Chain A
Amino acid sequence: MPILALLLTGCGDYVLVPPGRAVGVAKAAMTVTPDRAWNRNGGLGPGKRAESWTRDGAMLNDLTFYGGIADGETLFREVDKREAPLPRFAAGMSAPEIAELLERSYRVATGTTLFALDALAPMPLAGQAGFVMRYRYTLPGDDVARRGEARGVVVGGRLYLLTYEAPAIHYFERDLAAFRAVADSARLNT
């Protein structure tokens, strides 16, 4: 697996997540109930508070949970902390600032210059006033046009975020409903 994919999705053994059953994710920071089967990456996620799922394999459809990113923390594990440190979450950030944080984290971690915000709008997550973010990007090297949808909320100064990403062709639309079912089922274990 390319190193970049490893960074973004982690790499380890996959464990089946059966549909219809509540499951704790991202070190039990959240609980979700998927409506169809996913595969949980048993290895490392992209960050210490992150967990990755997929339906068909990494880079084909990736669902990532970021569970309770605290003030001063990064979304991902640092790639080059000294020369290219990642931007950090701050507890007082508004939704547009969190959208910027996600974009800049991708730019710094992957070296991409092709990342664009398509939409940012209010949307509740786990019954709290959150947001939905839609975006498109391309990673250097594979040059595949990808789309993403993220749902997030800040509760108690911590960021809870779910991202779904897949190639714009075929996969993104196909599995979007499966992601939304997971996001709509999310509960925070604060």
Chain B
Amino acid sequence: MKALATALALAQAMPGDEAGLRMQMDEAERQLRTSPFVVADPALNAYVGGLVCRLAGPDCAAIRVHIVRTPYLNASMAPNGAMIVWSGLFLRTANEAELAAVLGHEIAHYRARHSLRAFRDHRRKADGWALLGLPVGLVAGNLGYSAVQVGLAASLSAYSREMEREADAASIALVRAGGYDPHAAAAIWSGVRAERLAAATARGRKPRGEGGLFASHPPSAEREATLTALAGGERGRDGADIYAAAMAPHWRWLIEDQLRLNDPGGTAWLLDRIEARGGPPDWIAYARGELARGAGRLEDAVSAYRRAAPLPEAERGLALTLPHMGDRAGAQAAIDRYLTARPDAPDAEMLRSMVTP
């Protein structure tokens, strides 16, 4: 996006001009507000915004949350108070305490004016809260292009490792002050590592080492250990019920965005976690059917789809799977059930033609 490119140029040309930076940020945020990628759902915005306010206290009025529909793990904070939360975060925080830990980390960056300090240091590397769930090529490929996706000023200035440690420590304090379990911050990092391992294993690889683009962040294992030590022996509430209730209307699109990423290992791992925290059983079964069909595990796909019945999408899954098993009558029946439930389905004409002899 032009705004970010301009801001990057500005950072090179006028490293001291904070007023100029502020103007660029405000313009980028103005564009972001009208982006179709911004999630407008009032209840979800009220939930995340409310949590930010409870954590940020007097800074609440200065921070504006924008939820962007991007299926990867990230949150970032611009120096003008624009906080960007990617929707993929919601699949990866297990409860309100973990979400609070991520938001608290960003609030801490804002309070310490980290991005301005980094700006003054002429740092121009990419950054966000974590970026660990994000394909490197995607970041590298889109960085100069998509301010909306990458997240305004956070990508303008990399925080130093020291700043990250400061923000981690401050976030523990915020989480604790909110009455949440301070171990939540460390739990996110163990989740990140487990998901990356699951994703890589399914692809027959080892997970990529940490470094490169993410070098400004302390390695996740170190970070997890430090956060655990900072949390100490004390526990607090995890807010799992409140979190599950806030996410309940959104699981479907969150899961669908993840499903279409061609990441069978990471997705299977996430589905297990979502199931464990009360996600919708029919959509989880359907998603497992889709993963199995994609991997050519046809028997597994059929049994998962049958568990998801009578979800119409599961009938569609059966309709696409059974022909590969030679069961045309079964496929016909599934298509009939699907089209009875979804007569206006965009692929209706194609599906009807597939079984007509």
On A, residues with C-beta under 8 Å from B are: 2-4, 7, 79-80, 82-87, 92, 94-97, 99, 103-104, 107-108, 110-111, 113-114, 116-122, 131, 134, 138, 140-143, 145
What are the 4 closest A-B residue pairs judged by CB atoms, nearest first? A80-B137, A141-B146, A84-B135, A83-B135
How far, in Å, is B129 (CB) from chain A's closest CB?
A: 17
Chain B residues, CB < 8 A from A107: 260-261
B59 within 8 A of A: no
Chain A residues, CB < 8 A from B71: 113
Contacts A92-B324, A111-B138: A141 and B261 contacting too (C-beta < 8 A)? no
How far, in Å, is B300 (CB) from chain A's closest CB?
A: 17
Contact A3 B141 (CB under 8 A): yes
Name A142's closest neighbour in chain B (CB-CB).
B1
Which of the residues B138, B320, B350 comes within 8 Å of A84, measured between beta carbons?
Answer: B138
Contacts A83-B208, A121-B349: A7 and B141 contacting too (C-beta < 8 A)? yes
Q: How many residues of B contact A (CB 8 A)?
A: 42
B149 within 8 A of A: yes
Q: Which of B206-265 contact A (CB under 8 A)?
A: 208, 257, 260-263
Chain B residues, CB < 8 A from A103: 260
Chain A residues, CB < 8 A from B146: 4, 111, 140-141
Chain A residues, CB < 8 A from B350: 95-96, 120-122, 131
Q: Which of B287-331 contact A (CB under 8 A)?
A: 294, 316, 320, 323-324
Which of the residues A96, A97, A108 comes within 8 Å of B262, measured between beta carbons?
Answer: A108
Name A99's closest neighbour in chain B (CB-CB).
B347
How far, in Å, is A8 (CB) from chain B's closest CB?
A: 11
Interface of B, helix, strand, loop or mixed by DSSP: loop
Interface of A, helix, strand, loop or mixed by DSSP: mixed
Name A5's closest neighbour in chain B (CB-CB).
B145
User: A92–B293 Cα gap in the complex (Å)?
Assistant: 13
How far, in Å, is A132 (CB) from chain B's closest CB?
A: 9
Chain B residues, CB < 8 A from A92: 324
How far, in Å, is B8 (CB) from chain A's closest CB?
A: 14
User: A84–B87 Cα gap in the complex (Å)?
Assistant: 18
Chain A residues, CB < 8 A from B136: 80, 83
Contacts A4-B142, A108-B261, A120-B350: A140 and B135 contacting too (C-beta < 8 A)? no
How far, in Å, is A141 (CB) from chain B's closest CB?
A: 3
Contact B149 A94 (CB under 8 A): no
How far, in Å, is A40 (CB) from chain B's closest CB?
A: 25
Contacts A113-B257, A140-B149: A83 and B36 contacting too (C-beta < 8 A)? no
Contact string, B75-94, partner A, CB cutoff 8 A, digits 1/0? Answer: 00000000000010000000
Which of the residues A108, A117, A143 comes within 8 Å of B346, measured between beta carbons?
Answer: A117
Contact B37 A114 (CB under 8 A): yes
User: A116–B124 Cα gap in the complex (Å)?
Assistant: 36
- Contacts A3-B145, A114-B36, A121-B353 aside, 18 further interface pairs with beta carbons under 8 A come to A79-B141, A80-B135, A96-B347, A96-B350, A103-B260, A104-B262, A107-B260, A108-B262, A111-B142, A117-B347, A120-B350, A122-B349, A122-B353, A140-B70, A141-B147, A141-B148, A143-B34, A143-B36
